[in-house]
């Protein structure tokens, strides 16, 4: 898959680990910043990754900030984005199967790198089930 990735300065703590992990799994990754630990603002990177996904150049996006909350809210402002912030793999998997999420977010101050990798793997391997969920996802997209 082609995956767009982004973080603020706090999410940058975890981002290199996730980039390496994605490459190990055989994915192509583009990092939309931040590129240094200098203080910055999570909306910038949530928006960049969300727009990259919506424009169709990437299969999905993964974003990080301190909690994953701010950057997921930013991404969800872009029409067509369904971003989920997860601290455990069950919600990550179900968010794809039922909600067809296209961006995964998590917090570098909330979870460690091994749990983050597990969440990423579950999310990437899960598939949207369609059926009764499709109409609900369409309702979300039409809001």
Binding site for D-ribulose 5-phosphate: which residues? 8-9, 66-70, 99, 109, 132, 136
- The token pair at 130 is 């369609």
CB of 69 to ligand RB5, least distance (A): 4
> Is 60 an annotated catalytic residue?
no
Per the residue annotation, which of 27, 60, 86, 98 is the catalytic one? 98
Asked if residue 83 binds ligand RB5 (CB under 6 A), the reply is: no
The tokens of 75 are what?
Answer: 């991404």
The one segment of 29-37, 52-60, 63-71, 85-93 that binds ligand RB5 by CB under 6 A: 63-71
Count of CB atoms within 10 A of residue 20's CB? 13
Rounded Cα distance between 29 and 1, Å, is 8
- The strand ranges marked E within the chain are 2-7, 28-31, 60-65, 83-85, 103-107
Strand partners, 6: 63
Minimal distance, residue 8 CB to ligand RB5, in Å:
5
Other beta carbons less than 10 A from residue 84's beta carbon = 21
- The verdict on whether 133 is a catalytic residue reads no
27, 60, 65, 86: which is the annotated catalytic residue?
65
Q: Does 70 bind ligand RB5 (CB under 6 A)?
A: yes
Q: Which residues bind ligand RB5 (CB under 6 A)?
A: 8, 10, 42, 65-67, 69-70
Annotated catalytic sites, by residue? 65, 98
């Amino acid at each position: 898959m082609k995956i767009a990735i982004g973080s603020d300065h706090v999410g940058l703590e975890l981002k290199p680990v996730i980039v390496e992990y994605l490459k190990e799994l055989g994915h192509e990754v583009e990092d939309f910043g931040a590129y240094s630990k200098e203080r910055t603002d999570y909306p910038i990177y949530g928006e960049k990754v969300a727009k990259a996904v919506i424009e169709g150049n990437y299969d999905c996006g993964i974003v990080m900030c301190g909690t994953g909350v701010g950057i997921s809210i930013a991404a969800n402002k872009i029409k067509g984005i369904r971003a989920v912030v997860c601290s455990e793999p069950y919600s990550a998997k179900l968010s794809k199967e039922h909600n067809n999420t296209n961006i995964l977010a998590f917090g570098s101050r909330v979870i460690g790198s091994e749990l983050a990798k597990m969440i990423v793997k579950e999310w990437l391997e899960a598939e949207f089930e369609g059926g009764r969920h499709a109409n609900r996802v369409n309702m979300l997209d039409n809001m």
